[in-house]
Amino acid sequence: MTSTQIEIQLIAIVVAVACALPGVFLVLRRTAMMSDAISHSILFGIVIAFFVTRDLASPFLIIGAAVTGLLTVVLVELLSRTRLVREDAAIGLVFPVLFSIGVILIARYAGSVHLDTDSVLLGELAFAPFNRLTVGGVDLGPKSLFVMAGILLLSLAFILVFYKELKLSTFDAGLAAALGFAPAALHYALMGIVSVTAVGAFDAVGSVLVVALMIAPPATAYLLTDRLSIMLLLSALVGIVSAELGYWAAHGLDVSIAGSMASAAGLCFLLAYLWAPGRGFIAVARRRRRQRWEFAETMLAIHLHQHEDRPEAAAESREEHLLDHMAWTPRFAREIVARAERNGTLVRRAGALQLTPPGRKLARRALAR
């Protein structure tokens, strides 16, 4: 590996972790799409700050953009507080307006400068190492690595210091307010962190892919654990895996690193979605099937139990009768009977089904519930 490759991977990992940490709270608070809104409307802030400073490298660009991110959050809240539009519509109304103004400003006044909209939206990680940070003539490393590391430390500090408060206000905002934890202030602080992260990451991975790195790793972790602390660790881990996997896939195929990272994050999510123990698609499908079988077997036991030792028992306990009484398909009925026989809840005697003592117990227990 060349030093450039190592630097790119370092930046990718730092960006992924910096995005994943605040993303955990976005996913848990059901405001994931706020990251999409913020990452688009910061274009407006970047343009305005650029007009003021006339310098694309100015730190005011980050501040201006972060302020716009907060402005988006405030506007969305003002709009949904009128109760004239719902929150999702409010998000969908606010960010296109800010984005549009940004695009128009760029088109009209910044056409000659290097500030074009697709670089904001897409970003290119491969170019990140060329922008060096030099202090007194000494080359310290890529500038975006330092910027993102700073942002990562900031959000890490924020989460560590306010861990208890964040946890409480995320899972029970009402209780947090009642106990005097100022959930609104925390909410804005969190959104501020999201804005700063989105701005810092946009020139490395572009604004749309910031969303991928903020949402996909936490969502993956959410499918795997019930504990907030583990979810934070897991999503950072998924972020790192996506960064590495994405980088090497992009390296092999010679394609966009950011896009490849987002795809890798999506792949991680897909794997968790399918195979997460107890909660994944396959586990849920299997559990539902088992429950269906157990339910049908119990129903069968109850049915036989109701008619046992009665005059109609002979007719009711015939296997064909199940088809119209239970509205089962022949195949399903056969499977259930076979399963019940295997489990020893009934026996077949001369074409009729008869409960065994365990089968009777199953029926009685189900009826007693």
State the minimum distance, in angstroms, from the CB of residue 162 to other proteins: 22
Distance CA 340, CA 345 (A): 5
Nearer to other proteins, 159 or 219 (CB): 219
Distance CA 153, CA 168 (A): 22
Q: Are 193 and 25 in contact (CB under 8 A)?
A: no
Nearer to other proteins, 64 or 259 (CB): 259
What is the b/e burial string over 23-62, where b = at least 16 CB atoms within 10 angstroms of the residue's CB? bbbbbbbebbbbbbbbbbbbbbbbbbbbeeeeeeeeeebb
Nearer to other proteins, 106 or 300 (CB): 106
- Closest by Cα among 213, 186, 220, 200 to 153: 200
Q: Which residues pair with 346 in a beta bridge?
A: 355
Nearer to other proteins, 8 or 262 (CB): 262
Distance CA 351, CA 346 (A): 12
State the minimum distance, in angstroms, from the CB of residue 19 to other proteins: 11
State the minimum distance, in angstroms, from the CB of residue 216 to other proteins: 5
State the minimum distance, in angstroms, from the CB of residue 61 to other proteins: 20
State the minimum distance, in angstroms, from the CB of residue 195 to other proteins: 16
For the beta carbon of residue 304, count every other beta carbon within 10 angstroms: 23
State the minimum distance, in angstroms, from the CB of residue 248 to other proteins: 13
Nearer to other proteins, 87 or 341 (CB): 87
Structure tokens at 195: 């804005």
Nearer to other proteins, 33 or 237 (CB): 33
Q: Which residues pair with 352 in a beta bridge?
A: 318, 349
Binding site for other proteins (CB under 8 A): 27, 30-33, 35-36, 40, 82, 84-86, 88-89, 91-93, 96-97, 99-101, 103-104, 107-108, 111, 117-118, 121-122, 208-209, 211-212, 214-216, 219, 222-223, 250, 253-256, 258-263, 265-266, 269, 273, 279, 281, 284
